[in-house]
Amino acid sequence: LVKEAVKLAAHAGRKTLKEEDIDMAAEKIA
C-alpha cells in the first residue's frame, strides 16, 4: 500500500505523501 501511494505521489510530482495519495492507493489495491 505504501509503495503504491509513493508511486502516486511521485507521479503527481510530489516528494511527500498526502492523505489523498494513500486513499487513492487503497482504492487501487482494494
pLDDT per position as a tens digit, 2-27: 888 878 778 777 777 788 878 888 88
Range of the domain at 2: 1-30
The per-residue pLDDT for 8 is 76
The per-residue pLDDT for 30 is 77
The per-residue pLDDT for 3 is 85
CB 4 within 8 A of CB 25: yes
The per-residue pLDDT for 19 is 82
User: Residue 17 is placed in which grid cell?
Assistant: 505523501
- pTM comes to 0.45
The per-residue pLDDT for 9 is 78
Say how many domains are in the chain.
Answer: 1
